[in-house]
Amino acid sequence: MKIAVLGAGGVGTALGYGLLDAGHGVVFGVRDPQGRQGFSAPVAELAEAVTSAEVVVNTLPGSVTLDVLGRIGAGPFGTKVLIDVANAITPTFELMYPGDSLGAKLQALLPQAKVVKTLNTVPAAVMTNPGALPERTSVFLSGDDREAKRITGGLLSDLGWQHDDQVDLGSIATARATEHYLYLSLAIMAVSPSGQYNVSVIR
């Protein structure tokens, strides 16, 4: 599958290389391709990366995501699956959209795209290596399109997340729940020096 990973920070490179190792074609979308060297996958300008891909993964900082993707415009996204893993927070670690979510706002901004929120509750160290933890843990999905969630679930499986550990919360409106989890995640992070932690839903 041809996948565009928007952003080349720690999360973007981890996911990009994880998907590359799983056999997918990956291109990193960045604002300044000329300033990015040494990647094991192609690097392109953001809109070009989106246009070339079947699936787009947003790892840009949540605080700038709406602005950056708004400038790209809805055209290049079309009806593609857009996987959003970002949390929109202020410099003081407050939610930018209290009572709402970045995922829902992205769906409103790009109404034809199929937005799926996932992995935003998982530390970067665990996103592509859930087996690093001694027990199986959970990853959540929110989105309006069943097929988009099926595709996203397949990619999560490629990263090591077993199907039974993928919790489908329902529509994109439920992204509010996982984005508001941020405060608990930060508290757990404070007592988890390794950065390797997660939660498990037992049903």
List, for residues 53-73, the tens digit of each pLDDT value.
999 999 999 999 999 999 999
Q: Is the pLDDT of residue 2 over 70?
A: yes
139 vs 153: CA distance, rounded Å: 10
Contact 5, 59 (CB under 8 A): yes
Q: What is the pLDDT of residue 44?
A: 95
Cα–Cα dist 17/19, whole Å: 5
Query: What pTM was computed for the model?
Result: 0.96
Sign of CA dihedral 132, 3, 67, 172: negative
Question: What is the pLDDT at residue 35?
Answer: 67
Structure tokens belonging to residue 31 = 């604002």
CA-based R_g, the chain, Å: 16
Check if the beta carbon of residue 108 is closer than 8 Å to that of residue 75. Answer: no
Q: Is the pLDDT of residue 29 over 90?
A: yes
Q: Which residues contact 193 (CB under 8 A, 6 or more apart)?
A: none
**pLDDT single digits (tens) 123-182:** 998 999 999 999 999 999 999 999 999 999 999 999 999 999 999 999 999 999 999 999
Q: For the residues 105-116, what does the mean pLDDT come to?
A: 98
Instruction: Read off the pLDDT band of 32 (50, 70, 90).
Output: confident
| Cβ(179)–Cβ(103) below 8 Å | yes
> What is the pLDDT at residue 60?
97
Whether the per-residue pLDDT at 36 is higher than 80: the answer is no
